[in-house]
A and B are shown apart, each in its own frame.
Chain A
Amino acid sequence: MNRKQQTTGDPSPIDEDVVMHKFAGDTGICLRVILSFLSNYEAQILAMDQALAHQDLKSLHRAVHTIKGSVSTFSTTLVYKTALTMELMLKENRFTEATGLHSGLKAEIRAFAEYLKAFQTTLEAEAP
């Protein structure tokens, strides 16, 4: 049984074995980086919301780009792909299409954060 199955039993947005490989097996560093993500993702969502409210294309592009970078530390699946699609649309000035992805991306980020919290608990339980 791999880590993914141990944590939730469901298909997950990240492959925890791949993540641990990325962190060279260092649980301590992985936990610190998870904490960084968890302490920051709501601020990133807020930055995206504010940019959208002000119709500020440049700031929205940057906010989505930053979210994509944060998520890519752990995964290049669902959230990453949505952020990437939205970023490309904004780059091509397809503002209306991009904003259509906004709510979905927010929901995916929050679900991703919940998954990371569960992973954090698993890692803490394993830590010596």
Chain B
Amino acid sequence: MKILVCDDDITTTAYLDGMLRKMGYVPIVCNTGNEALLFLACEEPPKMAIIDWVLPDISGIDVCRNVRNSKTLLSLHIILLTSNNRPEDLAEGLAAGANDYMTKPFSAIELEARLGVGKRIVSLQSEVKTLTGLLPICAWCKKIKSDNQSWVKIEDYVKDRTDASFSHGGCPDCLQRVRQHE
């Protein structure tokens, strides 16, 4: 999974780059807020970002606000890096659109744990997207084309992706048709 890392301090980016690679992620490193927005505007943007609060051009907070104004980046999971640990600062960061925050200095254990949370949320969001997006449905049998390209019954498709379960019954129109048939 690609992760955007934005910090103007090269010691911090070197640390994040090394640790993220070790954890199996693919870091994309930049040093300014505007660079971050450029990377996020690409065709396949990263699904997670670690952004420092204090940047040389626009602040990490401004990057968060920009991202939340973009429909295509609504689901980007942003971890804001900050050395401010006052509750007011954290509230401001989260209100601006960050999903989580890490206070500098942070350890590899904390980094891995917070990325794990982010990964879980990104994965859940992608499931939700499947249910809210355009679903290819067979015009005759009403089966749905699933992610692995196989056709599955609509109730199985929904059951696999939600907590819903189905009880079988008959609607008045179908019941009438069946009776006429008999």
Query: What chain B residues lie within 8 Å of A65 (beta carbons)?
Result: 54, 83
Give Cα A40 to B13, complex, Å.
Answer: 12
Residue among A22, A23, A28, A33 making CB contact with B11, cutoff 8 Å: A33
- Among listed B14-22, B93-101, B145-153, B162-170, interface-contacting one: B14-22
Query: What chain A residues lie within 8 Å of B10 (beta carbons)?
Result: 36, 39-40
Residue among A28, A36, A37, A73 making CB contact with B105, cutoff 8 Å: A73
Of residues 48 through 66 on chain B, the ones whose CB sits less than 8 Å from some CB of chain A are 52, 54, 56
Give Cα A24 to B18, complex, Å.
Answer: 11
Q: What 0/1 pattern do residues 18 to 31 of A give for CB contact below 8 A with B? A: 00011110101100
Nearest A residue to B110 via CB reads A22
Residue among A21, A26, A40 making CB contact with B22, cutoff 8 Å: A26
**A65-B54, A66-B9 known; A22-B108 Cβ under 8 A:** yes
Query: What chain B residues lie within 8 Å of A22 (beta carbons)?
Result: 105, 107-108
Contact assessment for B8 and A66 in the assembled complex, using a CB-CB cutoff below 8 Å = yes
User: Does A68 have its Cβ within 8 Å of any Cβ on chain B?
Assistant: yes
Query: What chain B residues lie within 8 Å of A33 (beta carbons)?
Result: 11, 14-15, 18
User: Does B142 have its Cβ within 8 Å of any Cβ on chain A?
Assistant: no
- 11 examples of A-B residue contacts, CB within 8 angstroms: A24-B22, A35-B14, A36-B13, A62-B54, A62-B56, A65-B54, A66-B8, A69-B7, A69-B104, A70-B11, A76-B105
Could you list 11 further interchain pairs (A-B, Cβ under 8 angstroms) beyond the known A24-B19, A69-B104?
A22-B105, A23-B18, A23-B108, A33-B11, A33-B14, A36-B13, A40-B11, A62-B56, A69-B12, A72-B104, A72-B105
List chain A positions with a Cβ less than 8 A from chain B: 21-24, 26, 28-29, 32-33, 35-37, 39-40, 62, 65-66, 68-70, 72-73, 76
